């Protein structure tokens, strides 16, 4: 078995063990008292893992509390196959860019949870992608202006926490506003984290938890990146209004809700380590996460590889890097990470026998049909037979085209979960 086959096998096994349906089912056991005491249960699932999460939840509830489910539960996801055998209102929304479907989905969810009362339990099953799938711009902000803002934030390299701080303050559903709509019922949020610090207020822009950021924070971020003047006027007006009038601020405290992270990038990495060790591989799990520019984090990984070049070992790393868009090419975080790593490898004149497998756990890497890319002997050999200029591909952010020419893209399709990015590096 080749190193790329080993890496792919490890990843697939970890995906199977971290199936959202299984994780949710097991997590429900500790909240049995909540289900017992509720007169009615209102389940809502939003995100890339929403179908599987709802499936696991309804499998659990069917055993004892099936009659308490209010009407048809709601699932909001990106376009994906509904393989569940349960009946729910499956709303197909838009990701990674919101559209009118995102707005309509938000209104449906708000209407559904607003029917609950203080004797009921609203269960939110949240995963990555929710920021786009549920998108309800604040009054006076056209959806197209919000989209322009998101593209602007991505283009200057804002991290996910910065982006979500701004999103929460131009939204009618994020930053705890969805939980407010469920008052006075009790709420339970089971969350699969796609952010590196597992900040509940950042995952899907924190629709069900109190928000500790402010309108002032949102304005400061835009100012620090020198893009405030480029922000659509409708959003500037809203931010100014919110900064001046505290009644527009996101909710800062809840007494009725419980939130728990049930899976994350760190959990997935530990799962990978356990799988590899059971196969008698020596493994290093890097403590630091990658959340800077892909080109810089790739150099850090190369340095770690170089330190261990004389060992037969697997290095597990992860995070969510950033891409500074300077060109018009095609690619994603993991592909740019892999291309940056390859560039460093070649610049150093390295002869380390390795395989880097950099992949998005959701099976999607940016606006492409790839989940990531591979750097190994096959990649390097094919590259040396070409006249491809790596630097030009990096400058143009065209990593997809580069790895496509070298038969080194990872294409696995949606996995049904999303816990950021993973790198499996095999040295032998």
The pLDDT value given to residue 401: 98
CATH 3.40.1480.10 matches 266-427: yes
**Contact in structure between 121 and 194 (CB atoms under 8 Å):** no
pTM: 0.85
The pLDDT value given to residue 81: 66
User: What would the two tokens of residue 50 be?
Assistant: 């929403």
The pLDDT value given to residue 333: 96
Residue 381, Cβ density class (10 Å: 0-12 exposed, 13-18 middle, ≥19 buried)? exposed
Q: 20-263 belongs to which CATH class?
A: alpha beta
Looking at the chain, the domain(s) classified CATH 3.40.1480.10 span 266-427
Cross-strand partners of 290: 319
Which of 193, 127, 210, 206 has its CA nearest to residue 166? 206
User: What would the two tokens of residue 254 be?
Assistant: 């809840």
**Contact in structure between 324 and 296 (CB atoms under 8 Å):** no
- Residue 152 CA, chain-centre distance (Å), reads 19
Looking at the chain, the domain(s) classified CATH 3.40.50.10180 span 20-263
3: CB partners within 8 A, 6+ apart: 354, 355, 376, 377, 426, 428
Q: CA–CA separation, 371 vs 335, rounded Å?
A: 8
Cis peptide, bond prior to residue 381, ω within 30 of zero = no
With a cut of 50, which residues of the chain have pLDDT below it?
Answer: none
- Residue 154 CA, chain-centre distance (Å), reads 15
């Amino acid at each position: 078995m080749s190193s790329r086959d080993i890496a792919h096998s490890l990843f697939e096994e970890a995906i199977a063990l971290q199936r959202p349906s299984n994780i949710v089912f097991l997590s429900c056991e500790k909240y049995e008292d909540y289900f017992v005491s509720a007169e009615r249960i209102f389940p809502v699932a939003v995100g890339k893992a929403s179908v599987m999460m709802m499936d696991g939840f309804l499998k659990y509830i069917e055993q004892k509390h099936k009659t308490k489910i209010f009407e048809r539960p709601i699932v909001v996801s990106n376009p994906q196959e509904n393989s569940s055998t349960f009946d729910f209102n499956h709303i197909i929304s838009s990701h990674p860019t919101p559209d009118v479907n995102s707005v309509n989905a938000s209104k449906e969810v708000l209407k559904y949870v607003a029917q609950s009362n203080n004797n009921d339990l609203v269960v939110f099953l949240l995963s990555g992608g929710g920021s786009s799938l549920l998108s309800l711009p604040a009054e006076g902000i056209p959806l197209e202006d919000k989209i322009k803002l998101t593209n602007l934030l991505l283009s200057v390299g804002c991290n996910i926490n910065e982006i979500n701080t701004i999103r929460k303050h131009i939204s009618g559903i994020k930053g705890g506003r969805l939980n407010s709509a469920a008052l006075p019922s009790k709420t339970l949020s089971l969350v699969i984290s796609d952010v590196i610090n597992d900040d509940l207020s950042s995952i899907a822009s924190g629709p069900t938890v109190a928000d500790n950021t402010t309108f002032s924070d949102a304005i400061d971020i835009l100012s620090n990146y020198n893009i405030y003047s480029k922000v659509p006027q409708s959003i500037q007006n809203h931010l100014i209004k919110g900064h001046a009038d505290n009644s527009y601020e996101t909710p800062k405290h809840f007494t009725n809700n419980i939130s728990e992270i049930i899976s994350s990038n760190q959990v997935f990495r530990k799962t990978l380590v356990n799988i590899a060790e059971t196969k008698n591989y020596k493994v290093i799990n890097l403590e630091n996460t990658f959340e800077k520019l892909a080109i810089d984090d790739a150099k850090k990984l190369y340095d770690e590889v170089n330190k261990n070049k004389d060992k037969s070992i697997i290095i597990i790393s992860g995070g969510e890097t950033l891409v500074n868009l300077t060109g018009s090419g095609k690619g994603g975080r993991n592909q740019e990470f892999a291309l940056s790593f390859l560039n460093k490898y070649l610049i150093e004149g390295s002869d380390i026998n390795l395989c880097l497998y950099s992949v998005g756990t959701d099976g999607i890497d940016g606006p492409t049909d790839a989940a990531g890319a591979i750097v190994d002997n096959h990649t390097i050999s094919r590259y040396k037979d070409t006249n491809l200029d790596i630097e030009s591909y990096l400058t143009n952010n065209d990593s997809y085209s580069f790895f496509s020419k070298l038969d080194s893209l990872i294409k696995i399709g949606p996995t049904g979960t999303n816990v950021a990015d993973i790198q499996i590096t095999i040295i032998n």
